[in-house]
């Protein structure tokens, strides 16, 4: 017996359920589930993701697929009393993609399949509506011609526009049946001219051409770009759902819409969505026509609206989550075409989770697990400064909150190019399509002249957390697409604009922004997260302002204070340069004495901001050449300021230049060869700690020595630091507790961590440099080849963004284990960029680290990711216990054999 490729739903029965998303895709699984709970759904069948994977591997349909599909099609015919490809009332089909993970608009759909020159006449007679039949046929030829045969949509739209202009109407609904009847052969003729292929008349041929096209669309450019952006594996494949057509374009008792059971921008519990009378689904999502609010459906189709209100309430309670619905009303009868968990803005996600806990739909554990840590950062985006007085160019619909400024671009490819060059860009379009995704991902924000709150632009922007304004009708975009006019202004490509996604306004120029306020829902959900997590979360902060911001976001200390960042600024860098140029230790100390009070003041401010929390301060790490001038003008200025000849300055610069400074004279190596620098920094730290403690601050300094490779290096520095501490404490008549530890950022340090822990009281894995030294890759030079590695699947992720578990992760695990074998109470954390990346935080939880440290704005992300890791681990342990499996297996392989 051949493998099963097809699952039927409809006529009151369904082969699958919502638990079959991996097999049937999200769309197919949820259609089956709706049938099971009694929601009206047109009958259909789903071709599995297994069939898609077979097709991708073999470039052919699997054996048995066509026969199983034919049997399912017969059941659709029986349930609808219609015949596919014939009869007085022919059965038409929709063919839609449906991956296991929602990818809205990224793959292809075909509606009204089964129409030809004969069935269109039967459809017109059966519906007693010739215009409806020819409108459906026109739409089908356009969709099939574009999706299956590859003719650009713009070519069809141009013919359609010419027909509207000739008729003198603005909207497609103004075209008559005769207009549409004349348009169909024009479409077919244009297809033949462009492709050399005759449009297929046989419905079976149409069906398999459409299925093949949907399978192929898994690898179209926009789908691939979306998967890269969202981290979706390429081998998932897509299911194909084939369903009996229902028609929203059958006159004034029909229509179509998209709705959410709660407001996806704010999370408010109100039915939200849009509706179009006498239309098909693509009219709403494409933005071709601007729909009306879903509430107006109550006046237009009251009975269907009442049914929809009841169903949306039932579905939300059934799924226990906010739902995104697609529906059609055919001559007064409501049909649901899709339900899925709705994409929502970050603030909305927090509100929905908190209020669903209050409503008893979910518990606090599920509320925490519902929030995507990456989405959380979007809650922290800027808003317009309320004191600003901007010039409003246009107002549209507030599709996705947030404020952003950038240079106007009209072309998605240009958006990508300019963004990669480091420019902030705002993409302005009449409307967007899935082909624009790469440009939308590159842009800071998106503006469209047409479309509604559920248009493609709105849905994609909300999913990416980008500010978006849609339906800005006052924008007049020039035909050549290089400028637009609005409110008496002409704005060209490259000019600055600002958008306010919260109010739906497009503003002239660059408008100031302010930081957002955190809502009560944010604090409630984060409180539940903090209750659940084991892993501590600190921040990387180099100034008192950064420290205060980090604490406001919930940081439990500072995991990395980079002292070299305090050396920048005219007065400071001049003193540092004098120190570098000093001819002897005494001259060097005099220069350092000028820096000492500056560093002491900085440290004291940080200690005050972090009252009661630990502060890890890294001693000077970069090589000295980074502080020296590199152009003639700066060298001249330094020579004048120090009374030296320019030739001396140039010679000093050359003397400090290194071939490979990342592996050169820096970190602990610099501290050993120029000990006066470490002495000054230790003195500044301890004097600041004593002064802050005298003011009643609970000071907890942790002094971190960077780039240690051997225990003897650390032993030298530990002795120096403790000698300085003793002297400062004796002079002040006061002591403060402190710790000395090291940054583990070299493979040798991880492999000999048991020896290093003889001296170190804590480890902090510097995963930025540890990644560089493990891979042998310079992060600054990797951009020339790393993207290609990821595209070709050589690496799944950029290892500087997502922690490499297989290599770097093993060093972290091994270093932690070996360090604690010497010092059982060894405190261990990480302080690289990975400390705020969710999957890397999850790894740190499983590896047994005590904390992660990240940039202040990533602190809430890390807090939530740590909580999710703990909750998912607890849930897995419970499942394993129920199944009689030992849950205590290690998460990562060890390097014991290497050690």
**Active site residues per annotation:** 456, 831
Cross-strand bridge partners of residue 447: 428, 469
The full DSSP string for 821-867 is HH-TT-EEEE-SGGGGSHHHHHHHHHTT-SEEEE-GGGHHHHHHHHH
Task: Give Cβ neighbours of residue 607 (< 8 Å, ≥ 6 apart).
Answer: 615, 688, 689, 692, 697, 699, 701
Task: Report how many helices (DSSP H) and strands (DSSP E) the chain contains, helices first.
Answer: 34, 34
Question: Residue 246 and residue 361: Cα distance in Å, rounded?
Answer: 33
Alpha helices in 371-448, H assignment, sequence order: 373-376, 412-420, 437-442
Q: Would you say 775 and 723 are in contact if contact means Cβ atoms under 8 Å apart?
A: no
Alpha helices in 276-401, H assignment, sequence order: 281-285, 297-300, 302-319, 346-358, 364-370, 373-376
Instruction: Compute the half-sphere exposure of residue 647: CA atoms within 13 Å on the CB side of its CA.
Output: 0
- Strands 255-260 and 272-277 turn out to be antiparallel
Tokens of 129: 């509506």
Q: Would you say 254 and 327 are in contact if contact means Cβ atoms under 8 Å apart?
A: no
The full DSSP string for 725-794 is HHHHHHHHT-----EEEEEE-SHHHHHTHHHHTTT-SEEEE-HHHHHHHHHT--GGGGGGTHHHHHHTTS
Q: Would you say 9 and 15 are in contact if contact means Cβ atoms under 8 Å apart?
A: yes
Question: Residue 409 and residue 427: Cα distance in Å, rounded?
Answer: 5
Question: Residue 626 and residue 607: Cα distance in Å, rounded?
Answer: 28
Phi, psi at 262, each rounded to 5°: -145, 165
Nearest residue to 732 via CA among 787, 693, 786? 693
Residue 527: CB atoms within 10 Å: 13
Torsion of the alpha carbons at 799, 804, 806 and 811, rounded to the nearest 10:
120
Helices 859-882 and 520-532 cross at an angle (nearest 10°) of 50
Question: Residue 381 and residue 365: Cα distance in Å, rounded?
Answer: 26
H or E element that contains 468? strand 468-470
Phi, psi at 189, each rounded to 5°: -65, -40
- Backbone angle region of 575, left / alpha / beta, with phi > 0 → left and psi within -120 to 50 → alpha: alpha
The full DSSP string for 28-95 is HHHHHHHHHTT-----EEEE-HHHHHHHHHHSSPPTTHHHHHHHHHHHHHHHHT-EETBSSSEE-EEE
SS3 content of the chain, % helix, strand, coil (to 5): 50, 15, 35
Nearest residue to 221 via CA among 14, 371, 436? 436
Tokens of 169: 């109407």
DSSP single-letter state for residue 602: H
List the strands of the sheet with 292-293, edge to edge.
292-293, 272-277, 255-260, 323-330, 333-341
């Amino acid at each position: 017996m051949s493998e099963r490729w097809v699952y039927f739903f409809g006529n009151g029965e369904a082969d699958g359920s919502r638990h079959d998303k991996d097999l049937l895709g999200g769309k197919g699984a949820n259609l089956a589930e709706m049938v099971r709970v009694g929601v009206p759904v047109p009958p259909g069948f789903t071709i599995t993701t297994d069939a898609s994977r077979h097709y991708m591997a073999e470039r052919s349909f699997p054996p048995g697929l066509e026969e199983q599909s034919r049997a399912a099609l017969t059941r659709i015919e029986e349930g609808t009393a219609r015949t596919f490809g014939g009869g007085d009332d022919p059965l038409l089909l929709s063919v839609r993609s449906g991956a296991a993970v929602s990818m809205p608009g990224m793959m292809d759909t075909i509606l009204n399949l089964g129409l030809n020159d004969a069935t269109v006449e039967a459809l017109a007679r059966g519906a007693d509506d010739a215009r409806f039949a020819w409108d459906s046929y026109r739409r089908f030829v356009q969709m099939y011609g574009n999706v299956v045969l590859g003719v650009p949509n713009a070519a069809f739209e141009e013919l359609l526009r010419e027909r509207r202009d000739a008729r003198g109407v603005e909207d497609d609904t103004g075209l008559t049946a005769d207009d549409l009847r004349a348009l169909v052969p024009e479409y077919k003729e244009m297809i033949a001219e462009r492709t050399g292929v005759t449009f297929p008349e046989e419905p079976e041929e149409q069906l398999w051409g459409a299925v093949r096209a949907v399978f192929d669309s898994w690898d179209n450019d926009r789908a691939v770009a979306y998967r890269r952006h969202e981290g979706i594996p390429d081998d998932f494949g897509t299911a194909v759902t084939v369903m009996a057509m229902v028609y929203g374009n059958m006159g004034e008792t029909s229509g179509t819409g998209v709705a959410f059971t709660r407001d996806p921008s704010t999370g408010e519990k109100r039915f939200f969505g849009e509706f179009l009378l006498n239309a098909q689904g693509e009219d709403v999502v494409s933005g071709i026509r601007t729909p009306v609010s879903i509430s107006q459906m109550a006046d237009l189709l009251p009975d269907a609206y009442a049914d929809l209100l009841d169903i949306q309430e039932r579905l939300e309670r059934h799924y226990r989550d906010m739902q995104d619905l697609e529906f059609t009303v055919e001559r007064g009868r409501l049909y649901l075409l899709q339900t899925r968990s709705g994409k929502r803005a970050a603030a909305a996600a927090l509100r929905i989770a908190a209020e669903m806990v209050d409503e008893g739909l979910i518990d606090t554990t599920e509320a925490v697990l519902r929030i995507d840590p990456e989405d959380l950062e979007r809650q922290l985006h800027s808003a317009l400064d309320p004191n600003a007085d901007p010039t409003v160019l246009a107002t549209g619909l507030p599709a996705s909150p947030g404020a952003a400024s950038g240079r106007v671009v009209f072309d998605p490819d240009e958006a990508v190019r300019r963004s990669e060059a480091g420019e902030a860009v705002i993409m302005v379009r009449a409307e967007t399509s899935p082909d624009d995704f790469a440009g939308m991902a590159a842009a800071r924000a998106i503006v469209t002249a047409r479309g509604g709150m559920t248009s493609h632009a709105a849905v994609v922007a909300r999913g990416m957390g980008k500010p978006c304004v849609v339906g800005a009708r006052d924008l007049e975009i020039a035909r050549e697409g290089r400028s637009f006019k609005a409110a008496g202004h002409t704005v060209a490509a490259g000019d600055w604009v600002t958008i306010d996604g919260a109010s739906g306004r497009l503003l002239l120029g660059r408008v100031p922004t302010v930081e957002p306020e955190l809502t009560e829902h944010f604090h409630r959900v984060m409180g539940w997260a903090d209750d659940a997590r084991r892993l501590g979360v600190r921040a990387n902060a180099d100034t008192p302002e950064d420290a205060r911001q980090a604490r406001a976001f919930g940081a439990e200390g500072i995991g990395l204070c980079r002292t070299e960042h305090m050396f920048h600024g005219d007065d400071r860098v001049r003193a540092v340069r004098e120190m570098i140029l000093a001819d002897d230790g005494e001259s060097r100390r005099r220069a350092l004495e000028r820096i000492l009070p500056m560093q002491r003041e900085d440290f004291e401010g940080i200690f005050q901001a972090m009252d009661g929390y630990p502060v890890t301060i890294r001693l000077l790490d970069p090589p000295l050449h980074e502080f020296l001038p590199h152009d003639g003008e700066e060298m001249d200025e330094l020579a004048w300021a120090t009374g030296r000849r320019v030739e001396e300055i140039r010679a000093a610069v050359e003397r400090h230049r290194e071939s490979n400074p990342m592996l050169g004279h820096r970190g602990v190596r610099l501290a050993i060869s120029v000990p006066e620098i470490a002495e000054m920094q230790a003195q500044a730290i301890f004097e600041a700690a004593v002064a802050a403690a005298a003011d009643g601050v609970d000071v907890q300094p942790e002094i971190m020595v960077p780039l240690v490779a051997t225990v003897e290096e650390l032993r030298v520095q530990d002795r120096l630091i403790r000698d300085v501490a003793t002297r400062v404490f004796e002079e002040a008549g006061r002591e403060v507790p402190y710790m000395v530890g090291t940054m583990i950022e070299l493979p040798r340090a991880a492999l000999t961590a048991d020896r290093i822990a003889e001296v170190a009281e804590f480890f902090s894995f510097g995963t930025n440099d540890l990644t560089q030294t493990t891979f042998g890759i310079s992060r600054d030079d990797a951009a020339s080849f790393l993207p290609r590695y990821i595209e070709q699947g050589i690496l799944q992720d950029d290892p500087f963004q997502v922690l490499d578990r297989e290599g770097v992760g093993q060093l972290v695990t091994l270093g932690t284990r070996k360090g604690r074998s010497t010092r059982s109470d060894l405190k261990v954390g990480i302080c690289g960029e990975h400390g705020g990346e969710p999957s890397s935080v999850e790894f740190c939880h499983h590896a047994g680290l005590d904390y992660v440290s990240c940039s202040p704005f990533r602190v809430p992300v890390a807090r939530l990711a740590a909580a999710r890791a703990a909750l998912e681990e607890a849930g897995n342990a419970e499942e394993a216990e129920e199944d009689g499996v030992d849950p205590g297996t290690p998460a990562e392989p060890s390097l014991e054999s290497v050690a």
